[in-house]
A = this chain, B = another copy of it.
Amino acid sequence: MDLKKYLGVALLLGGLLPLQAQHRNEIKVPDLDGYVTLKCDLHTHTVFSDGLVWPTVRIDEAYREGLDAISLTEHIEYRPHKKDIVADHNRSHEIVEKQAKNLDIILIKGSEITRPMAPGHFNAIFLQDSNPLDTEKYQDAFEAAKKQNAFIFWNHPGWDAQQPDTTLWWPEHTELYNKGCMNGIEVANGGSYFPEAVDWAIEKNLAILGTSDIHQPTTVSYDFAKGEHRTMSFVFAKERTAEGIREALDNGRTAAWYKDKVIGKEELLRPFFEKCIEVKEVKRDDTGVTLSITNVTDLPLSLTKTAHDTSLVYFRHYTLRPHTRHNIRIKFTNGIKGGDMNFRVDNFIVRTGKSMDYTIKL
């Protein structure tokens, strides 16, 4: 008697099985001219390393949360469930390939090289085979990844378990960097932010990345009902494909999205910001100008006035909540008829400790 066969049929039919809640919540942020903004999480875990969900859950989550791409980057060296889960390093990726295709999620094969500091933890993505990375010496693991033309980035460079007091760049990092084994760096990972890494990324031309490093179901770590989102990367790609993502990573066209912050190069964040807002002049007379400013994105935009001609009188701080329109009055005093409305976009980070400045000419 073949129990499994007709049990399987029964179970596939059943309304009792968990519903596939297929509602995709698109993330509303703008594209740059000539590029599409892909929302990517390139660092996640499942039960195949130390995560707590079956791999398919990660694809469902990615779909629901509006991601374009994901990578299941199981630890090579740390597999606490291995007594019960017997599989090689490619297995979790393999399990979800078909599902990702069905849901149109770009699946990028990756693994986490998991070593003590230095050099610490690194993700190698765009692999063909993860097994060769299981080596005794870390140098051999990087070599194996490099041989597959992987894109490699440093994970959580300021993780206090490995950098207890200061976020340091070690000689081992210089060595890896010089060998072409460090192509990107996380400036944000889950609930942690590493400000020092922003300047490193810009000075050394590393792709700036944010990732969730999620182990729990995302619904446990993020309270979506409160508007929270997983830490992720915006990748400004020429096309919505794995190749498009790779080309953008190789050319550093990325930003990290961490809580309210967008972190990236000023040359990318400036045109990005200009697409985040729609500004219209709705009234102008001798006493001032009224601008209608609409935030067309899911991002709050927090503005703080910077050095300016004090004859131009406007807000000191102003927050444009997501998807709101605001009529903002700028007053002319002392006989002026225009000028530069200068402010800082507090939550757009362009260097270590520095927000982006912006001017609206009136």
Which A174-195 residues sit within 8 Å CB-CB of chain B?
Answer: 189-192
> How far is it, in angstroms, between the C-alpha of A315 and the C-alpha of B161 when the chains are bound?
8
A114 within 8 A of B: yes
Contacts of A56 in B (CB 8 A): 52
Instruction: From known contacts A53-B57, A136-B1, infer whether A20 and B327 are also in contact, taking CB-CB under 8 Å.
Output: yes
Contacts of A213 in B (CB 8 A): 16
Distance of A309 from chain B, by nearest CB (Å): 11
Which A72-104 residues sit within 8 Å CB-CB of chain B?
Answer: 77-78, 80-81, 84-87, 91, 95
**Is the pair A324, B23 in contact by a Cβ cutoff of 8 Å?**
yes
Instruction: From known contacts A23-B321, A191-B319, A220-B219, infer whether A16 and B161 are also in contact, taking CB-CB under 8 Å.
Output: yes
> How far is it, in angstroms, between the C-alpha of A253 and the C-alpha of B4 when the chains are bound?
36
Contacts of A313 in B (CB 8 A): 13, 164
Size bin of chain A's contact surface:
35 or more
Q: Which of A47, A87, A213 gathers the greatest number of chain B CB atoms within 10 Å?
A: A47
**Is the pair A310, B164 in contact by a Cβ cutoff of 8 Å?**
yes
**Is the pair B161, A10 in contact by a Cβ cutoff of 8 Å?**
yes
Question: What is the chain B residue whose CB lies nearest that of A327?
Answer: B20
Selecting from A143-151, A200-208, A221-229, A244-252, the interface stretch reads A221-229
**Is the pair B21, A220 in contact by a Cβ cutoff of 8 Å?**
yes
Contacts of A86 in B (CB 8 A): 84-86
A171 within 8 A of B: no
**Is the pair A84, B87 in contact by a Cβ cutoff of 8 Å?**
yes
> How far is it, in angstroms, between the C-alpha of A213 and the C-alpha of B19 when the chains are bound?
13
**Is the pair B77, A3 in contact by a Cβ cutoff of 8 Å?**
yes
Question: What is the chain B residue whose CB lies nearest that of A15?
Answer: B315
A156 within 8 A of B: yes
Which A311-347 residues sit within 8 Å CB-CB of chain B?
Answer: 313-319, 321-327, 329, 331
Question: What is the chain B residue whose CB lies nearest that of A92?
Answer: B84
Question: What is the chain B residue whose CB lies nearest that of A313?
Answer: B164
**Is the pair A317, B15 in contact by a Cβ cutoff of 8 Å?**
yes
Contacts of A50 in B (CB 8 A): 11
Question: What is the chain B residue whose CB lies nearest that of A292?
Answer: B22
A216 within 8 A of B: yes
> How far is it, in angstroms, between the C-alpha of A69 and the C-alpha of B16 when the chains are bound?
23
**Is the pair B227, A14 in contact by a Cβ cutoff of 8 Å?**
no
> How far is it, in angstroms, between the C-alpha of A138 and the C-alpha of B49 when the chains are bound?
36
> How far is it, in angstroms, between the C-alpha of A77 and the C-alpha of B161 when the chains are bound?
43
What 4 A-B pairs are tightest by C-beta distance, nearest first? A225-B225, A219-B219, A14-B161, A217-B217
Additional 15 contacts, C-beta under 8 A, given A51-B54, A165-B305: A7-B114, A7-B115, A7-B116, A16-B192, A16-B213, A17-B215, A18-B214, A20-B324, A20-B327, A23-B322, A84-B85, A84-B95, A85-B86, A219-B220, A225-B226
